Amino acid sequence: MEYPQFLGNTIKFDLFKKPPLKEYALKHKLATSCGYSFENSEYCPCCGLSVSKISLPLSIKIIDLAFLGQGVPLFFNQTILVTVIYSLMLACFMVPNIIFNVLGDDCISKDNYAYVLWQEQGCEQNCPLEHEDFNQFTKIFSDCSQICHHYTKVCLRSQMSQLSFINKQAESQQRIIQSSILLCSVIIMKISMVLIREKQKQVEFAIDKELLSPSDFTAILNHLPKNNYDEKELKHALEEYCKQFDPDNNYEVVKVNVAYDISQFIDQGREKLKLEKQLERSKTKNREKLINQIKEISQLQQIIEYEIENGCYRKTTPIAFITFQTKKQLKSLLEQTKLSYWEVFMIAVKSLIKKKDSRGFYFKGELIQINRAPEPDDVFWENCGVDQNTQLKRKILSWFVILFLLGFSLGILYGLNAFQNSFLQSDDNQFLITTMVSFSKSLIIALVEGLIYYFITLLANQERHVTKTYQDTSIAQKLSYVQFVNSCLLLMIINIIGAYNPQLKYQSNQLSNLAVQQQGGIADDFLYVSGTNAILIPLSLYFNPLYLLKKIRQLRIEKNKDMDQYQANKLFEGPQVEFYDQYSYLCKTTWLTFFFAPLIPISILFGQVGLVSYYWIEKYLLLRRNSKPPFQSSHLDSEMLYLIDLSPILFATMQFWIDFVFNSGKLCQSLNLASIVLAGLEIILPTYRIHRMLFKDLNEEEDSVRYEDVYLKLPTDYDRTNPLTQQNAISEFVRNKVKRQTSPLRMQLSQNLGNSRQRKNQALQDLIYKGVCEPKKIRMKILKQKLQLVLKMRRFIRPSMLKEGQMEMNLDGLEKVDSLRSSNQNSPTYLKTPEYNFYSFVHTKPRLRTILRKNETMDINSISSQNQSAYLNTPQYYFGSKKNSSCAQRQNIKRLTQS
């Protein structure tokens, strides 16, 4: 049989060939890079992506990156908008405060008479002094005993100290001015946060207005009572709850998809495969024991499989996906159940006294958590049934490792601080030593943050999150929290402890006063940490030592006879884009900047420089070095915006603390309290609610779209990716699809494909297989299945018998049906093998095209096509199609196995 050139090359291609060919590795590198594909391009035989790409300019508009998924434009746009806030704060807070700081005169000059005298002749015998220079010390210390113990820890005049708050620490009028400016800045920041949400919504709408997704209609419910509910009960309870808070509208739940507990089946299957491998290598003595164990597992699996096939499997998990008829119904429910920080706290308090809250949805006595559902291919169905105690233990282990690293960081920082303080009593190289130690602290913090990043990402996979989106969000939030603690709070703690002297009695604020203003103290450390975060972190992305090592290995690829072609292709593939890393840097930098700003106003400039550098370096790496990123929804962007909304609270809190430390007056403290109250409104009245009250929903016209009218156009759905419901969902799709087709040949193709379907649940088998085999073997299995589909279609398809447009749509639907059998469709999007355009391979040269029909658009080669699968007309699937009449037969099987 004659094949198209690319298809023939793909069939002959050996992914495990040793030694590898550099030619194929280079093709794979180009195919997985970011860029627009040429028409009639050559395709990579490994992954099926176009090799010829149009290189995108660095000046490309953000919205033009939408073909890479929502996450890319939203991240870059959020970075730009946060940088705009920096510019506003630079103009209204940083510049005026730096001017007042420079005009201050509260830091002591090194040629101060009293300071020089005490350095030469000692302090105790020369205190007090009848000299005007002595008065500068009495502004800070109350008596000579404290002066003589701490005169070396006062603020010494330098270019850096003149830029900080401590140079005007005794000027009450200027401190009032700073507090007033900060109050105005908090107001500007709160307004800016609302506008940022509106701009992000506009970008999201521009990307999504032509793209429908099942998540637009679906909510994910968590904390449901395990093994104690069914679909009808949940459907009825949720519709009744919706009527309570919105009686004027008729809420219609069209589909309930429960995430059943398949963990036992998967574990047994993997154990069986391990035993079978042991049986192949075992001796005669152990064979009988292994055979008996395999039989026992097989019998247990048969019971579960029988229950699944006959609709009797009722082991439900706390997770379920609820699909509503319209987007508006879903949004109304999410707005009702989306709680502020204060409401979450109050519900937790009420739960202790067994009292229900009016905003919460309670089902069988349990408070149910409701969120917008992630994409169907984003769900880890196997993890839905993991015991909550197991998840809790693994989360505790993660936090234990994190706390250990923070303790390690605290110990090193304290040692450096003690080393630094030991040099403050001598004048020899004092400034040089303190500067070097402060810079060393910032490097230690950066290194520890690198370790924290490594362990958090490593342990995140062990926490068994339900979705990839939730896993990424958890990582990003943890990184933001922990890195902020490591960069800010630990520095404050070790400096306050280092300033303590057990021989003296301190006032409540005096110890912190010394810790802030001393050489190498909090002010200096904050300055170096802010600079390191702005310069070193972005540069480390570009000059990544791991990437440089990878380039060196690429030069020696043809000499490495132990490497196969798959490993060579992965070696040439660009680094992966990790959105949680990018968002965590954005959030951490914003928190650091505004937390440091009241003490070190120039940190705003450092933060802006850092974000601008990070933006351009990340954009360059995306378009020139990294591989094409996985599809990322807007969920992570929204969750990280909630954290950035907390920045004004940190801003106001730091101002309140330093005014308390330096004994500011009542007016100053009143202004600071007003700032904290205004910023703290985020806890009671979040920014997203203010945005919702002020701005009209851009999607209002789209919200009336009904699910039953558009579900065939959706890129994927939850019942077609759920391993337990997938086969029945596909069968129903074929039947309903055939009803719309009148051509006899189309009927023949659908029946031919349906008859070849195995009765065994292939989706569950693929999950088992995926857990014990190498990913490259799975990839080769998927590739072979797809090529077999192409050859099968060539045998009985006659393009001349149908019009071209009809043939395209028919093949498009049928190839998706068959592709669902592979484990490719049961894995999350970020693990997927890219889709092939099989119609191009069979009939024409590969080319980029869009198939258009009346009221329907389908972009075959778009990013969303990675999620494409078959769709069924199944609004009533869970409520009418399953029959439990054969459950009695299940009891007979159990009795037979027991006997």
pLDDT digits 0-9 by tens, 116-161: 888 888 887 888 888 887 877 777 777 787 777 777 777 888 778 8
Q: Does the pLDDT value for residue 217 go beyond 80?
A: yes
* 488 has a pLDDT exceeding 50: yes
Residue 741 has pLDDT above 60, yes or no: no
Residue 520, number of CB atoms within 10 A of its CB: 28
Q: Cα dist. 621→58, 62, 574, 616 in Å?
A: 10, 15, 9, 8
Q: What is the pLDDT of residue 837?
A: 33
pLDDT in tens, 538-558: 998 888 888 888 888 888 887
Please tell me the least confidently modeled range out of 34-43, 270-279, 743-752.
Answer: 743-752
Cis peptide bond prior to 128, omega within 30° of 0 = yes
For position 276, what pLDDT does the model report? Answer: 78
Q: At what angle do helices 775-796 and 5-12 cross, to 10 degrees?
A: 140
pLDDT at residue 746 tops 60: no
In this prediction, residue 855 carries a pLDDT of: 36
Q: How confident is the model at residue 9 (pLDDT cuts 50, 70, 90)?
A: low
- Across the beta sheet with 316-324, the strand order is 253-260, 316-324, 218-222, 366-372, 361-363
Give CA–CA dist 874/727, Å, rounded. Answer: 13
Q: pLDDT higher for 891 or 398? A: 398
pLDDT digits (tens, 9 = 90+) for 588-601: 999 999 999 999 99
Share of the chain above pLDDT 90, in %: 15
Which one-letter amino acid corresponds to residue 87?
Answer: S
**CA 289 to centroid of chain Cα atoms:** 46
761 pLDDT exceeds 70? Answer: no
Closest by CA to 629, choosing from 567, 586, 584, 579, is: 579
pTM, two decimals, is 0.78
Predicted pLDDT of residue 459: 84
- pLDDT higher than 50, residue 444: yes
CB atoms within 10 A of CB 798: 8
Residues near 601 by beta carbon (within 8 Å), at least 6 away in sequence: 93, 94, 97, 98, 101, 163, 164, 165
Distance from the Cα of residue 745 to its chain's centroid: 47
pLDDT of amino acid 505: 57
The residue type at 650? L
Cα–Cα distance measured from residue 152 to residue 427, given in angstroms and rounded to the nearest whole number: 10
Would the pLDDT of 733 be above 70? no
Query: CB atoms < 10 A from the CB of 103, how many?
Result: 12
Give per-residue pLDDT as tens, 195-206: 999 999 888 888
Predicted confidence (pLDDT) at residue 781 exceeds the cutoff of 60: no
Position 537 pLDDT exceeds 80: yes
Find all residues with CB under 8 Å of 27, minimum gap 6, and list them: 42, 44, 45, 46, 51
Rounded to whole angstroms, the Cα distance separating 19 from 56 reads: 33
Residue 705 in this model has a pLDDT that exceeds 70: yes
Report how far residue 225's alpha carbon sits from residue 222's, in angstroms, rounded to the nearest whole number.
9
pLDDT interval class at 171 (50, 70, 90): confident
Given a cut of 70, whether residue 890 has pLDDT beyond it is no
For 411-433, write each residue's pLDDT tens digit: 888 887 777 666 554 455 566 77
| Alpha carbon distance 291, 12 (integer Å) | 39
**pLDDT confidence band for 274 (50 / 70 / 90):** confident
Tell me the average pLDDT across 304-309. 73
Distance in angstroms (rounded) separating the CA atoms of residues 221 and 834: 30
Sign of CA dihedral 837, 843, 847, 849: negative
Under 8 Å CB-to-CB from 99, ≥6 apart: which residues? none
Quick one: how many helices (H) and strands (E) in the chain?
36, 9
* Average pLDDT score, the chain: 75
Cα radius of gyration rounded to whole Å, the chain? 32
Q: What is the mean pLDDT of residues 667-689?
A: 90
Amino acid 615: pLDDT: 95
Q: How many residues does the chain have?
A: 899
Contact 275, 290 (CB under 8 A): yes
To 10 degrees, what angle do helices 666-684 and 647-661 make? 160
pLDDT at position 126 is 80
Which DSSP letter does residue 474 get? H
